[in-house]
Structure formats: structure tokens, C-alpha cells
Amino acid sequence: MRRWIRNLAVGLPLRGEHVLASLGGDRLTGVEFCRAIGGGIDFGETSDQALRREFREELGFDVEPTLLLGVVENLFEFEGIPGHEIVHVYAVESPDFDALNLDADLTILDEGSAVRWYTRSQFKARKPPLYPEGILDLLPA
């Protein structure tokens, strides 16, 4: 069982009331959820460098972190295993996002998870919930 804290950098591509996020699920509980796109910060890498690398690896997109929205601490259980993360949350921009239709279906290149545009109201209603908890509150109005 893992017993360490992961440092992550995630980005929230925004288009009006829409947020681009990855769809996931817990196989043990059957609960579906969305997660901000991004991943682990490697040793010697800054959070914004990790964010750029993760978007290239996961979507093939070059992004520009425009604003560090905040840092959240995430304690959770996924598939029966407890987790603990410190998550740097950025607003990001890219011409690649501007070219996407709001009904576009993408996949994470290295794992195959679906990526879609969701409305803030969907996340506020938790249909599906957006993780890590609290990042929706960091979005500009």
C-alpha cells in the first residue's frame, strides 16, 4: 500500500462556462467522476514545467499556464487505496483548445480515458463530480 504524498500539477482549460476534464471511474465502487488534466511533478521540475509536459504526453497539446489558481490538498480513497496529493491548479490556454468543438471527444494518449468539455453547472451538481475537491471554487467567475 502506498504511503507517500504525490505532488501534482493540473490544468483547467476554460471556454466560457465549459471546462475540459478527463472522465474516470472507481472499479470497486462504480462511481464515475471527472479529474483535471495533468499529473505528477518530477524531481527537478517546476509545477508549470510538469503541467506543460503532462499536456503534451496526455493530449499532444502545447499549453501555456496563464495563472496559478491555487494549491489544494487532496485526501481520498481510490479503488480501496488511500491517497494524498498536493495539487497545483493552473488556468491554461492553447490554440489547440480554441480549435476544439464543445462536443469533441478526445482520449488521454497514454491511458485511453475520455476527455470532454463539461459545464460548470454539471460539476456544481456533481453530475459528474470534479476532482480534486475544491478546484471548482478556484475558477474565475
Q: How far apart are CA 75 and CA 90, in angstroms?
A: 20
The CA angle 111-20-46, to the nearest 5 degrees, is 70
Copy the grid coordinates of residue 73. 490538498
Full-model pTM = 0.92
List the CATH number of the domain containing 82: 3.90.79.10
Task: Tell me, yes or no, whether 137 lies in a domain.
Answer: no
> Per-residue confidence of the chain (141 residues) as pLDDT tens digits?
567 899 999 999 999 999 999 999 888 888 899 999 999 999 999 999 999 999 999 999 999 988 999 999 999 888 888 889 999 999 999 999 989 999 999 999 988 899 999 999 999 999 999 999 999 999 887
Q: Where in the sequence is the domain holding 109, given as residue range(s)?
A: 6-131
Task: Tell me, yes or no, whether 136 lies in a domain.
Answer: no
What's the total number of domains in the chain? 1
Task: Tell me, yes or no, whether 38 lies in a domain.
Answer: yes
Task: Tell me, yes or no, whether 1 lies in a domain.
Answer: no
Task: Tell me, yes or no, whether 139 lies in a domain.
Answer: no
Alpha helix ranges (H) inside 1-133 = 47-59, 95-98, 120-124
